[in-house]
Amino acid sequence: MRVLKFGGTSVADAEAIGRLVAIVAGRRGCRTVVVSALGGVTDRLLAIGATAATDSAAAKADLQRVLARHFDVADALRNPTARQLIDIMLRGIAQGAERTIETIATAGAASPALLDRLLAAGELWSSRLVAAFLTDAGVHAQWIDARHVVRTDAIHGHASPDFAATDKSVGRLVRPALALDRVVVLGGFIGAAPDGATTTLGRGGSDYTAALIGACLLADEIEIWTDVDGVLSADPRVVAGARVLSTLSYEDAETLATFGAKVLHPKTIEPAAERDIPVRVLNSWRPEWPGTRIDGSGGDAGYAAVASRRGLALLELTARDRGANGDFAPRALQAFADAHVAVLLGEVHKDRVTVAVDGGADLEALRAKASVFADVNVRSGLSAVCAVGGRLASDPRLVTSAFALLDDRRLHLVARPGRASALAVVVDDRDVHDLVARLHDSFTAEPAQVVAS
């Protein structure tokens, strides 16, 4: 039992889908395929949604251009009957998107619910195409609308899955198709609220879909196919010597994703870890390469990796009543929860709480809730740099040497997120790339090269 997820670059055109077909056909046993929209399509649909609010004719014209790209991909199908059928399917999805554009134009704005309906077209188009190409190649494939499988809450734009309801849908729809020796094809990223309205799981949510389906199926492995050779020890655009990690623990993979590593959605790991299902990150251009295996074994104790996340803000909440009875920190953290501001990392003292959050969060809502009992100070233009790896826990000299490397830069916050094998610092945006390179070079050096200061 295997779940294979293919990202936008792995379904970007007919040639890419041909590689996907070869990979899927080469696997044996039960297979479920989860696909993202064709590369760049989600961004195009977001722009169309913005245009629709003021110019529906222009939005529809843009939509037709996106549809034409999908027709161009479909031209590579060999069976003329299949080509005609896929045209009908693709056009039907576009007609639904056009109706959404008209609704947006009437409302004068694209609400999150309407945007979800519009964005869903990307994964509906791509999954229909992939199912058609698999069938065209002689693979018995069955397309299933992911909105009938992935059940979520009603929070549009970043819905949370209802695992129990999704598990039932998988048992009702996916398992019977697999039992008939069919390859099931689903669009990632999309689901349905309790009332049936289309929802989305947030950008990068196709990884999350694959992990959910894999957990429900108790898969032997979840494969994430992308355009890189695996999880790298750093962003290769920042660190020329970044290398592919052969193994990662669930915890370290989730931490890297949370702190900016782009190859995985942060929520991908949780469903897999809960059911101890390995996740493997692979390159669809080089399917023979082993990639990176993420599992519960703890990873390679010798590795280290560094990630960075820009666009953060640092919030410091200080108690107005310094003589309070110790309830300040819980009250401050509850204010973050009530304002729906997610905390990335932080430190808590008796009368002061300092946390790093995404700069795009609703900080005014947080200020309104917290200013009743605390002074709130906000600093923007910050980034987080986070290093993970077994050696951080086993070799204390690494942490000592890290602070020596960073002592000429201002560190706004230092934390050990989650576990002893991670170290994170919040710094000014201008310093982030330099510090990533420094830490990477230090942490990936041979142990004998690390000298305590």
Model pLDDT for residues 61-74, shown as the tens digit of each residue: 999 999 999 999 99
- Residue carrying structure tokens 């695996």: 230
Lowest mean pLDDT among 7-21, 58-72, 79-93, 382-396: 382-396
CATH 3.40.1160.10 location in the chain:
2-227
pLDDT at 347 over 70: yes
pLDDT at 277 over 60: yes
202 to 72, 188, 191, 257: CA distances (angstroms): 28, 11, 11, 14
Of 143 and 253, the structure prediction assigns the larger pLDDT to: 143
Which residue, among 46, 33, 38, has the nearest Cα to 8 in the 3D structure?
Answer: 38
pLDDT at 108 over 90: yes
The structure tokens listed for 349 are: 């003292």
Domain spanning 305-449, CATH class: alpha beta
pLDDT at 119 over 80: yes
Query: At the topology level of CATH, where does 2-227 sit?
Result: Carbamate kinase (3.40.1160)
115 to 20, 110, 186: CA distances (angstroms): 29, 6, 20
pLDDT at 413: 87
Q: Where are the alpha helices (DSSP H) in 310-448?
A: 328-338, 363-370, 390-394, 396-406, 432-443
Of 389 and 51, the structure prediction assigns the larger pLDDT to: 51
Q: Are 17 and 26 in contact (CB under 8 A)?
A: no
Give the contacts of 449 (CB within 8 A, at least 6 positions apart).
none
CATH 3.30.2130.10 location in the chain:
305-449
Mean pLDDT of the 65-87 span = 96
pLDDT at 226: 93
> For residue range 152-193, what is the model confidence (pLDDT) as tens digits?
999 999 999 999 999 999 999 999 999 999 999 999 999 999
pLDDT at 193: 97
pLDDT at 254 over 60: yes
Sheet containing 422-428: which strands, arranged edge to edge? Answer: 343-348, 352-358, 305-319, 374-388, 422-428, 413-415
pLDDT at 364: 87
pTM of the model: 0.89
Pairing of strands 2-6, 141-143: unpaired
CA-CA distance, 106 to 125, in Å (whole number)?
Answer: 25
